[in-house]
Amino acid sequence: MTVSEAYTEPTLFDLRARERQSDEDAQHTLQALSTDDAVTSAAVPAVGAEELAPEARDSEPPAEASATSEASETSEAKAAAPDLTPQDEKKRLEKQLDALKRKESELRRALLVAERPELSEAIRTIQGHAYSVQRAEEKATAGLSKAEVRRRETLEKKLTGLREKRGELDRQIETLEAEQGTLGAEQVATSKAERHQALGQLLRSLSVHAAEFSAAGIDAQSVVPELGRLMPELELFARELTEAPQS
């Protein structure tokens, strides 16, 4: 080291002095850390593998829990689901049973195809036609579509309104026909009464003037030709008057 270097004071912009200070700080830090590690290792007792084994065993899931995990999830799902009525539960179980039966059929078919590959085409063709028949049966029993249901409701409303109108019209027609029949019957009854009265008057006239026509030697029918048509009724009317009890 030269004299100029020994008596030169470090300035703010002296980089070498700053580097030396950083090295000294790092050494002090490492010494402090080593001292803390020694104290910690002396204070904490060593733990053997036997003492850690129970903790490791506790951290592992038990075999029974893993085996029953699916059952517990199923029970939780049932508890979370809303209560079903016996009918709904029966339908749900029937659907599950049908699904299992279809799955069994598919597996048996796949097993047969694996054993007899030459039958794969025949099985696929028969299965396709059977599915077509099943789809046709489902459509036949499916009922009306949503659009058809709405159309049926609209038609039912219109028919209900028309039936009500038809009932009102039928009642009006019956009233008018009854009135019309009454008018005709009244006229007929009036005419019959007038004719009966006229026949009585004609019969009395013939009785009063019979002696005059007889003395003159003239038949009343030759003078009044309508008497020939009315004579049977006049004779019947005369007998009724004769046979009627005298009041």
Residues 182-228 have pLDDT tens digits of: 877 777 888 889 998 998 899 898 888 888 888 888 888 888 888 88
Provide the residue type at 12 as one letter.
L
H or E element in which residue 147 lies:
helix 146-216
What would you report as the CA-atom Rg of the chain, rounded to the nearest whole angstrom? 63
Q: How many angstroms separate the CA atoms of 235 and 17, rounded? A: 171
Q: What is the pLDDT of residues 87-135, one digit of tens each?
A: 889 989 999 999 999 899 889 889 988 999 998 898 889 988 988 998 8
- pTM attached to this predicted model: 0.31
Residues in Cβ contact with 228 at an 8 Å cutoff, skipping those fewer than 6 apart: 221
How many structural domains compose the chain? 2
Which of 143, 168, 201 finishes a domain?
143
Whether residue 164 is contained in a domain is answered as yes
Residues 170 and 117 grouped into a single domain: no
**Is the same domain home to 163 and 238?**
yes
Q: Which of 69-73, 80-84, 105-109, 233-237 has the lowest mean pLDDT?
A: 69-73
Residue 29 lies in a domain: no
Are 139 and 157 in the same domain?
no
Mapping DSSP onto H, E and C, the string for 125-140 reads HHHHHHHHHHHHHHHH
Q: Are the C-beta atoms of residues 21 and 14 closer than 8 Å to each other?
A: no
Q: Which domain holds residue 120?
A: 104-143
Instruction: Please check whether residue 39 lies inside any domain of the structure.
Output: no
Indicate whether 178 and 203 sit together in one domain. yes
CA-CA distance, 53 to 56, in Å (whole number)? 5
DSSP summary character for residue 185: H
Q: How far apart are CA 65 and CA 226, in angstroms?
A: 125
Q: Do 174 and 200 belong together in one domain? A: yes
Please name the amino acid found at residue 216.
A
Residues 6+ apart with CB under 8 A from 219: 213
Q: Choose one of 117, 143, 169: the last residue of a domain.
A: 143
Q: Tokens at residue 172, please?
A: 């009006």
H or E element, residue 160: helix 146-216
